[in-house]
């Protein structure tokens, strides 16, 4: 399996090289035959890349400890699902996963080569293959996961996977995230392809919009899954710590979000062309930079990969990327000039520009925070770091400004908004939000940021509802006035599916914003010690320790406590929490297993912290995280909204008409 995997990887590398060169020749000679060759090479490269990945998976599944990587990250007693997810448990396999998904993205583009503009495709394929080539080279020459173990005989058992990674969410979080990352190379390939070929119409933007959206949805889902894993596994009651690894995934998400918005300005107004080119390249560059950051060991992180010597390779690639883009965008500067200007500060163009600047500011501040240890050491010789307070104090106000813009941007008029239209659209929501702020203060929430955050979210919600209301009214007015509200809204949604999908995404973001605010502002945490039968009161709950028993498992031994949760108001038992403290045999590591009782209102989060020296009294840490589950629901809404936007035109027509007819009939029957 090792050899097959290694050869598959090598063949994938060669076919990517062929695709890259073939694309370039096709671009120079404008030759369809070379384009066909580039197309087929790209597809072959993906087949070989996936084969290599499958081979590594098979090596894990069959406990092939002649493979050094498999030996390092697996052992016999591990459940099969974790054996497979151990593929990306370490650096080498994660690079292979990355490269394999990237070749698949290339193939997906190549398969549709006939549908895209002929002038654009050769260079696009060349660029996307160059990207695959880079990641395949790193995998093949620097982090090859198919190396044989340097032992005199094949070991009977492996070293084992870190217990913290033995979690179902670690099985899906990395592939989801990597799919998002690698898909962002498609807009990048189209963008460079457009500049190389000189085919600089809006086509490349239009064609890559769906790609960017899919990538963005995966990235959003991947980042949230990572946060969820941290929340349920690490036992500190939080989901985001501004750790370099988290930030590395957050940076391209920010620029991709900015790009999704500025694209609309280019499509409608042919503005921000130059800006968009750099935004796309920056997004791709940041995915590469993130890989570099988490794998080169240049910054200390709680969960970084082991430090390796691949840093310089990534830096050279990034430098080359910047130089090529710089030269190309200078060379094409005439074509990238926008024919129009922003006419007024009160216009959708200006709002979108502001949105982009805020997103980039958050990106820059985060990057600054991540790189601060390196920068301060280089400048002053003394290594300094910034941590969570820095990121929060800078990014929270920027995010709040962004939420405010989320209410303004989609509704304000293009070009120039009149005072009258501004008043009509925004005055009521604004006053209502102001009233909301007063109510919140009256209800006892007096901190500035939470009040501002909730009120802003309310403001945006009202603008979205107002827009929905207007849309339905227009539909009802346009056709039959007897048309039911339901049927009118279905028609409105169908006609403007993309716009309403966007509002749906915004709504999801609002839900997340409220959940994050609640968790930052109203989280409660306590420590306490109990003997059997002892009780502790927190919030609305009484916790009673019923007992503790020992656990014995093939992988670990440990203790598990049973803690009853009782509602204080009426003494009703709500359930039993069973937090665990485990000690894994491999490498003698201990971990806590969090017990969680989740409701729409709050999460009760219980950690078994340890026992006293006699082993009779148990120490616990408990968190009450208000509105926590709305964070995950909000993220789900964001992804659903993106899917609504992505549904192909016409696919919904059938369903929607059916529903509309039925409700129409129902309305008539009344």
Partner 1 sequence: MKIFWSIVVAVVAFVVLFMFQATRGTATTVFLPSKLIEIESKSHLRRVRVAGRVAGDSIDYQVEPKLKLSFEIKDPQGNSETTLPVVYNGIKPDMFAPGRDVIIEGEYKNGTVYASSLLTQCPSKYEPPDSPGVKRQGDYHQKGLGQ
| Interacting residues with partner 1 between 49 and 68 (CB under 8 A) | 68
Nearer to partner 1, 242 or 632 (CB): 242
Window 315 to 344, contacts with partner 1 (CB under 8 A): 341-344
Residue span binding partner 1 (CB under 8 A) among the ranges 83-91, 192-200, 442-450, 563-571: 83-91
Q: Which of residues 542-581 bind partner 1 (CB under 8 A)?
A: none
- Least Å from the CB of residue 553 to partner 1: 17
358 binds partner 1 (CB under 8 A): yes
Q: How far is the CB of 318 from partner 1 (least distance, A)?
A: 22
Interface region with partner 1, contact rule CB under 8 A, candidates 41-49, 465-473, 535-543, 589-597: 589-597
Q: Are 614 and 632 in contact (CB under 8 A)?
A: no
Distance in Å, CB of 379 to partner 1, minimum: 12
Residues 192-251 that bind partner 1 (CB under 8 A): 234-236, 245
How many Å is the maximal CA-CA distance in the chain? 85
User: Residues 37, 100, 149, 310: which binds partner 1 (CB under 8 A)?
Assistant: 149
Q: b/e for 542-567, b at 16 or more Cβ within 10 A? A: bbbbeebeeeeeebbebbbbbbbbbe
Residues 511-530 that bind partner 1 (CB under 8 A): 527, 529
Buried b or exposed e, range 58-92, using 16+ CB within 10 angstroms: ebbbebbbbbbbbbbbbbeebeeebbbbbbbbbbb
Rounded distance, CA 130 to CA 552, Å? Answer: 51
- Listed ranges 42-50, 359-367, 436-444, 512-520: which one lies at the site for partner 1 (CB under 8 A): 359-367
* The one segment of 89-97, 310-318, 556-564, 624-632 that binds partner 1 by CB under 8 A: 89-97
Decide if residue 535 touches partner 1 (CB under 8 A).
no
For residue 590, state whether it binds partner 1 (rule: CB under 8 A). Answer: yes
31, 202, 301, 555: which one binds partner 1 (CB under 8 A): 301
Q: Which stretch binds partner 1 (CB under 8 A): 201-209, 247-255, 324-332, 590-598?
A: 590-598
Q: Which of residues 389-448 bind partner 1 (CB under 8 A)?
A: 389-390, 393-394, 397-398
DSSP 270-289: ---HHHHHHHHHHHHHHHHH
* Site for partner 1 contains 357 (CB under 8 A): yes
Q: What is the DSSP pairing of strand 556-567 with strand 541-552?
A: antiparallel
Least distance to partner 1, CB of residue 302, Å: 5
Indicate the residue among 197 and 366 with the shorter CB distance to partner 1: 366
457-486 positions binding partner 1, by CB under 8 A: none
Question: How far is 251 from 247, CA to CA, in rounded Å?
Answer: 6
Member of 144, 202, 376, 421 binding partner 1 (CB under 8 A)? 376
CB 467 within 8 A of CB 503: yes
Interacting residue with partner 1 among 32, 79, 155, 534 (CB under 8 A): 155
Query: What is the rounded CA–CA span in Å between residue 354 and residue 362?
Result: 12
User: Given the complex with partner 1, which of 208 and 255 has the nearer CB atom?
Assistant: 255
Tallying the residues shown for the chain, one arrives at 670
Structure tokens at 314: 């990534």
Q: Where does residue 48 rank: exposed (0-12), middle (13-18), buried (19+ CB within 10 A)?
A: buried
Inter-residue contact 109 to 42 (CB < 8 Å): yes
> Residue 249 or 475: which CB sits closer to partner 1?
249
Q: Which stretch binds partner 1 (CB under 8 A): 26-34, 262-270, 302-310, 445-453?
A: 302-310
Are the C-beta atoms of residues 72 and 29 closer than 8 Å to each other? no
- Closer residue to partner 1 in complex, CB, 344/564: 344
Structure-token match 């990014």, residue found: 395
End-to-end CA distance of the chain: 69
Q: What is the CB neighbour count within 10 angstroms for residue 438?
A: 11
Report the residue from 114, 115, 152, 569 that binds partner 1 according to the rule CB under 8 A: 152
The smaller minimum CB distance to partner 1, of residues 302 and 320, is found at 302
Among 80, 115, 150, 420, binds partner 1 (CB under 8 A): 150
Three-state secondary structure call for residue 640: helix
Q: How many residues bind partner 1 (CB under 8 A)?
A: 80
Least distance in angstroms from the C-beta of 638 to partner 1: 25
Shortest Å, Cβ 444 to partner 1: 28
The per-residue b/e assignment along 271-293, b for 16 or more CB within 10 angstroms, e otherwise, is: bbbbbbbbbbbbbbbbbbbbbbb
What token pair was written down for 511? 């839900």
**Given 189, 607, 638, 639, the residue binding partner 1 (CB under 8 A):** 607
Whichever of 497 and 621 has its CB closer to partner 1, that residue is: 621
- Toward partner 1, which CB reaches closer, 176 or 592? 592
Distances (CA, A) of 268 to 205, 340, 609: 12, 11, 57
Judged by CB under 8 A, the residue of 62, 201, 300, 482 near partner 1 is 300
Rounded Cα distance between 248 and 282, Å, is 13
CB contact set of 670 (below 8 Å; sequence gap of 6+): none
161 binds partner 1 (CB under 8 A): yes
- Least gap, CB of 13 to partner 1 (angstroms): 25
DSSP letters, 445-511, are ---HHHHHHHHHHHHHHHHHHHHHHHHHHHHHHHS-TT--HHHHHHHHHHHTHHHHHHHHHHHHHHH
Our finding on whether 164 is near partner 1 (CB under 8 A) is yes
If the CB atoms of residues 41 and 603 are measured against partner 1, the closer one turns out to be: 603
| Minimal distance, residue 100 CB to partner 1, in Å | 19
Structure tokens belonging to residue 545: 């320790």
Is 83 a residue that touches partner 1 (CB under 8 A)?
no
Give 155 or 477: the residue with its C-beta nearer to partner 1. Answer: 155
Task: Select from 114, 309, 570, 588 the one that contacts partner 1 (CB under 8 A).
Answer: 588
The least CB distance from residue 178 to partner 1, in Å, is 13
What is the closest distance, in whole angstroms, from the C-beta atom of residue 529 to partner 1 in the complex? 5
Phi-psi region of 557 (alpha: psi -120 to 50; beta: other; left: phi over 0): beta
DSSP 122-178: HHHHHHHHHHHHHHHHIIIIIS-TTPBP-SSS--SS-----GGG-SHHHHHHHHHHH
């Amino acid at each position: 399996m090792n050899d097959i995997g290694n050869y598959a990887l090598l063949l994938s590398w060669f076919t990517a090289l062929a695709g890259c060169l073939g694309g370039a020749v096709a671009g120079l000679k404008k030759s369809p035959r070379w384009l066909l060759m580039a197309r087929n090479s790209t597809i072959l490269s993906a087949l070989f890349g996936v084969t290599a990945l499958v081979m590594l998976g098979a090596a894990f599944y069959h406990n092939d400890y002649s493979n050094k990587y498999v030996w390092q990250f697996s052992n016999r007693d591990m459940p099969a699902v974790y054996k497979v997810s151990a593929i990306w448990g370490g650096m080498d396999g994660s690079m292979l996963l990355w490269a394999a998904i990237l070749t698949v993205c290339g193939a997906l583009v190549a398969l549709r080569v006939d549908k895209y503009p002929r002038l654009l495709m050769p260079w696009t394929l060349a660029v996307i293959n160059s990207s695959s080539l880079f990641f395949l080279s790193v995998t093949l020459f620097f982090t090859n996961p198919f190396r044989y173990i340097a032992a005199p005989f094949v070991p009977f058992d492996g070293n084992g996977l870190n217990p913290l990674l033995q979690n179902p969410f670690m099985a899906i979080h990395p592939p989801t995230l990597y799919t998002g990352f690698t898909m962002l190379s498609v807009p990048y390939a189209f963008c460079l392809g457009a500049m190389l070929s000189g085919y600089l119409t809006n086509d490349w933007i239009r064609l890559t919009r769906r790609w960017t959206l899919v990538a963005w949805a995966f990235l959003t889902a991947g980042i949230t899954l990572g946060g969820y894993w941290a929340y349920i596994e690490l036992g500190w009651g939080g989901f985001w710590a501004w750790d370099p690894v988290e930030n590395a995934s957050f940076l391209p998400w920010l620029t991709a979000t900015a790009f999704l918005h500025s694209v609309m300005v280019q499509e409608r107004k042919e503005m921000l062309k130059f800006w968009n080119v750099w935004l796309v390249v920056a997004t791709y560059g940041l995915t590469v930079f993130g890989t570099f950051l988490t794998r080169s060991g240049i910054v200390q992180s709680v969960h970084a990969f082991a430090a390796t010597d691949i840093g310089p390779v990534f830096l050279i690639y990034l430098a080359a990327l910047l130089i090529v883009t710089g030269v190309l965008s200078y060379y094409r500067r005439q074509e990238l000039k926008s024919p129009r200007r922003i006419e007024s500060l009160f216009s959708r163009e200006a709002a979108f520009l502001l949105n982009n600047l805020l997103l980039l500011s958050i990106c820059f501040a985060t990057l600054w925070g991540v790189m601060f240890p390196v920068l301060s050491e280089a400048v002053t010789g003394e290594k300094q770091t910034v941590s969570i307070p820095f990121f929060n104090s800078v990014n929270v106000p920027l995010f709040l400004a962004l939420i405010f813009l989320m209410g303004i941007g989609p509704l304000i008029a293009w070009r120039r908004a009149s005072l009258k239209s501004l008043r009509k659209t925004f005055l009521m929501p604004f006053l209502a939000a102001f009233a909301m702020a007063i109510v919140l203060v009256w209800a006892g929430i007096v901190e500035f940021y939470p009040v501002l955050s909730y009120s802003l979210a309310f403001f945006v919600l009202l603008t979205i509802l107002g827009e929905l209301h207007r849309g339905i009214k227009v539909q009802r007015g346009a056709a039959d006035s007897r048309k039911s509200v339901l049927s009118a809204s279905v028609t409105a949604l169908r006609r403007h599916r993309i716009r309403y999908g966007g509002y749906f995404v915004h709504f999801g973001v609002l839900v997340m914003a409220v959940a994050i605010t609640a968790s930052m502002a109203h989280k409660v945490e306590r420590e306490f010690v109990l003997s059997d039968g002892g009780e502790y009161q927190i919030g609305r709950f009484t916790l009673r320790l019923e007992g503790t028993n020992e656990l014995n498992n093939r992988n670990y031994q440990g203790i598990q406590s049973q803690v009853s949760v009782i509602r204080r108001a009426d003494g009703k038992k709500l359930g039993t929490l069973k937090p665990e403290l485990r000690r894994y045999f491999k490498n003698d590591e201990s971990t806590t297993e969090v017990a969680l009782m989740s409701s729409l209102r709050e999460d009760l989060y219980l950690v078994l912290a340890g026992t006293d020296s006699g082993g009779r009294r148990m120490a616990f840490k408990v968190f009450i995280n208000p509105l926590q589950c709305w964070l995950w629901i909000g993220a789900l809404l964001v992804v659903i909204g993106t899917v609504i936007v992505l549904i192909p035109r016409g696919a919904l027509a059938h369903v929607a008409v059916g529903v509309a007819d039925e409700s129409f009939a129902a309305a008539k029957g009344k």
